[in-house]
Amino acid sequence: MSQIDLINIAKSYDKQKDVLNGIDLSIEEGEFFVLVGPSGSGKSTLLRMIAGLEEISGGVLKINGQTVNHLPPKDRNLSMVFQNYALYPHLSVKENILFGLKGRKVEKQEQMRRLHDAVEMLGLQDLLKRKPRELSGGQRQRVALGRAVVSHAPLCLMDEPLSNLDAKLRANMRVEIRRLQKKLGLTMVYVTHDQVEAMTMGDRIMVLNDGKIQQIGKPITLYNEPENLFVASFIGSPKINLGSAVFSENAKHLIIEDELHIPVDPAVFHHIPKDRKLTVGIRAEHLEPCLAKKENMYKLEAVNVEQLGNETLIAFEVGSELWTAKWPGQWQIEFGQKVLVQMKPENLLFFDADSGELIKSAELETSQGAVTV
């Protein structure tokens, strides 16, 4: 059963251009659902509409089958974690966590039981007497999570809760939040502009742009089968390599950026329209080092090299575009060096250059699942 249903939801201010338009979506019970998109795409507005903090201009919002368009936040049985944590500076950690329970007049014994469970789970035992100013960013984040946990609300909304943390702490908190959600069986709606966060945390992702849904699906589906150029370029790190492409007059070659001439394999290219402007895409891991095989080999000039220890990122100039290759291990490549790169036609994605819609996704080999015992 779906816990949240959004039916043709719209939002506008002063009857001007819609900030959100035609949002149709169902979020299942126990699902970790991520809203992702660039700044100004409407994702935080949508989350606040679910919370009851923002008025709905059009459409129907249902929670557990009940229409809640005009229901105040306190009656929606949900908790929310904000980007700025929203902790009371004059209250201790313990008082901040219990604040909502006191307002709802939960019995003192029950408050203490919930507090004990939450601080054990989040490792806050030694911080209960401190004020927010005495805490680090990660500790404040855990206090905000603790306040959500003790509410026992089955629905938790999070608005970019990790954006104020450093990279290492953000990675740790991603794991903690995901583990907490699974342990408590929460339905979680999580807003972020960070596509790495979206990919690593979400059961499903909704990509928003300019107030409209671009695609909804599992993270790996959005990565492998993006429905349009926006999703393709937004999902994935490093960013997908894109280039304009046309077929030669005899349709024997696909020409990318007037530079790369790829022999046409009928088995790979038979569904691709030959008389249309195309945009092709290839992921960084599919610009492979040319080791033994000689087919589909191209010589490209390295214009930047990033040594990351476990992998190497090499940037190449392809026509007017900069393409990035991601190779496992450590590669000693100099700036300006000509490098042999292998690019298999079956790893190309094809998009209509005018509409941006996907024509054909890459034909990828899938790895086997892990052995379980």
**CATH number, domain with residue 196:** 3.40.50.300
320 with 255, same domain: the answer is yes
Do residues 343 and 262 lie in contact, with contact meaning Cβ atoms separated by under 8 Å? yes
Per-residue pLDDT of the chain (373 residues; tens, 9 = 90+): 579 999 999 999 876 778 898 999 999 999 999 999 998 899 999 999 999 999 999 999 999 999 999 999 989 999 998 888 889 999 999 999 999 888 888 899 999 999 998 888 888 889 999 999 999 888 888 898 889 889 888 999 999 988 877 888 788 888 888 988 998 899 999 999 998 999 999 999 999 999 999 999 999 999 999 999 999 999 998 999 999 999 988 888 899 999 999 988 887 888 888 888 999 999 999 999 987 767 889 999 999 999 999 999 999 999 999 999 999 999 999 999 999 999 989 999 999 999 999 999 988 766 555 565 5
8 in Cβ contact with 58 (< 8 Å): yes
Asked if residue 316 and residue 258 are part of one domain, the reply reads yes
State the distance between the two ends of the chain, measured CA to CA, in whole angstroms. 31
Domain residues for 309?
238-360
Q: Is the peptide bond before 263 cis (omega within 30 degrees of 0)?
A: no
pTM here is 0.89
CB 143 within 8 A of CB 124: yes
367 belongs to a structural domain: no
- Statement to judge: residues 98 and 204 lie in one domain: yes
**Domain final position from 167, 199, 230:** 230
In this structure, are residues 215 and 207 in contact, taking their beta carbons and an 8 Å threshold?
yes
What is the distance between the alpha carbons of residues 301 and 323, in angstroms, rounded to a whole number? 11
- Contacts of 49-57 with CB under 8 Å at 24 or more apart are 49/9, 49/11, 49/20, 50/4, 50/6, 50/78, 50/157, 50/189, 51/76, 51/78, 51/80, 51/157, 52/76, 54/11, 56/9, 56/10, 56/11, 57/10, 57/11, 57/12, 57/18
Q: Are 272 and 350 in contact (CB under 8 A)?
A: yes
Contact in structure between 87 and 140 (CB atoms under 8 Å): yes
Nearest to 314 by CA among 287, 345, 281: 287
DSSP-derived pairing of the beta strands 204-209 and 32-36: parallel
Q: Which of 192, 209, 230 is the last residue of a domain?
A: 230
How large is the angle between the packed helices 167-184 and 108-122, nearest 10 degrees? 130
Domain contains 370: no
Residue 249 sits in the same domain as residue 182? no
Q: Which of 212, 230, 248 is the last residue of a domain?
A: 230
Instruction: Tell whether 215 and 72 lie within a shared domain.
Output: yes
- In this structure, are 210 and 333 located in the same domain? no
95 plus 204 within the same structural domain = yes
Q: Identify the helix (H) or strand (E) that includes residue 158.
A: strand 155-159
Q: Which positions ≥6 away from 73 have C-beta within 8 Å?
A: 51, 52, 53
- In contact, 284 and 324? CB cutoff 8 Å: yes
